[in-house]
Chain A
Amino acid sequence: MTAAIEIDALAKHFGATGALNGVTVNVERGEIFGLIGPDGSGKSTLFRLLVTLLLPDGGRATVEGLDIVKDFLKIRARVGYMPGRFSLYPDLTVEENLHLFATLFGVRVEDNRPLIQRVYSHIEPFRRRRASALSGGMKQKLALSCALIHRPSVLFLDEPTTGIDPVSRAELWETLADLKRQGVTVMVSTPYMDEARLCDRVALMQSGRFLDVASPPEIVARHGTTTWAARAERMSKLLTDLRAHPTVETCYAFGDRHHVTPRPGASPLLLRAAMETLGHRQVEISEILPGIEDCFIRIAGQPPREP
Chain B
Amino acid sequence: MKTLPFLLEKEFKQMARHLFLPKMFIIFPVIMTLLLPWAADPSIDNIPLALVDRDASPRSLRLARALTATGDFRLATRPPSFPLALEDISAGRAEIILEIPPRFSADLQREGRATLLIAANGVNGTRGGLAAAALATLVGETAGGNPLPLQLHTLQRFNPTADYKPFMIPALLVMLMTLLCGFLPALNIVGEKESGTIEQINVTPVGKFTFIAAKLIPYWLLGAVILAYGILLANLFYGLTPAGSIGTIYLFALLFVPGIAGMGLIVSNHSATMQQAMFVMFFFLILFLLMSGFFSPVESMPAWARAIAACNPLKYFVQAIRAVYLKGSAAADLREQLLALAAFALLTNAWAVWSFRKSS
List A residues at the B interface (Cβ < 8 Å): 51-55, 72-73, 76-77, 79, 81, 83, 85-92, 96, 100-101, 103-106, 146
Contacts and interface: CB of A to CB of B under 8 A. Distances in A.
Given A86-B196, A87-B200, A106-B3, 16 more contacts: A52-B203, A52-B358, A53-B199, A53-B203, A53-B359, A54-B359, A77-B205, A81-B203, A85-B196, A87-B196, A89-B10, A89-B197, A92-B14, A96-B10, A104-B205, A106-B2
Contact of B206 (A53, A88, A104): A104
B195 A90 contact: yes
20 contacts: A52-B203, A52-B359, A53-B359, A53-B360, A55-B359, A81-B200, A81-B203, A83-B196, A83-B200, A86-B196, A87-B199, A88-B200, A91-B13, A91-B14, A91-B17, A92-B13, A100-B10, A101-B200, A103-B3, A146-B200
B360 A79 contact: no
Contacts of B137: none
B110 interface: no
Most buried by A among B201, B203, B204: B203
B204 A105 contact: yes
Nearest to A99: B6
B159 interface: no
Nearest to A55: B359
Given A77-B205, A96-B13, A88 B197 contact: yes
A100 B10 CA distance: 8
Interface in B1-35: 2-3, 6-7, 10, 13-14, 17-18
B275 interface: no
A167 B205 CA distance: 34
Interface of B: 2-3, 6-7, 10, 13-14, 17-18, 195-197, 199-206, 358-360
A55 B359 CA distance: 6
A72 B197 CA distance: 19
A70 to B, nearest CB: 12
A81 B201 CA distance: 10
Contacts of A86: 196
Contacts of B199: 53, 83, 87
A103 B2 CA distance: 9
Contacts of B2: 106
Contacts of A87: 195-197, 199-200
Contacts of B200: 81, 83, 87-88, 101, 146
Given A89-B10, A92-B13, A101 B359 contact: no
Nearest to A75: B203
B6 A103 contact: yes
Contacts of A96: 10, 13
B339 to A, nearest CB: 37
Contacts of A88: 197, 200
A72 B203 CA distance: 9
A155 B305 CA distance: 57
B190 to A, nearest CB: 15
A152 to B, nearest CB: 10
Nearest to A102: B6
Sort A-B residue pairs by CB-CB distance and give the 6 closest, nearest first: A87-B196, A104-B204, A103-B6, A87-B200, A77-B205, A81-B203
Contacts of A100: 6, 10
Contacts of A77: 205
A87 B204 CA distance: 13
Nearest to A52: B359
B6 A104 contact: yes
Contacts of B206: 104
A105 B203 CA distance: 10
A304 B22 CA distance: 48
A52 B197 CA distance: 16
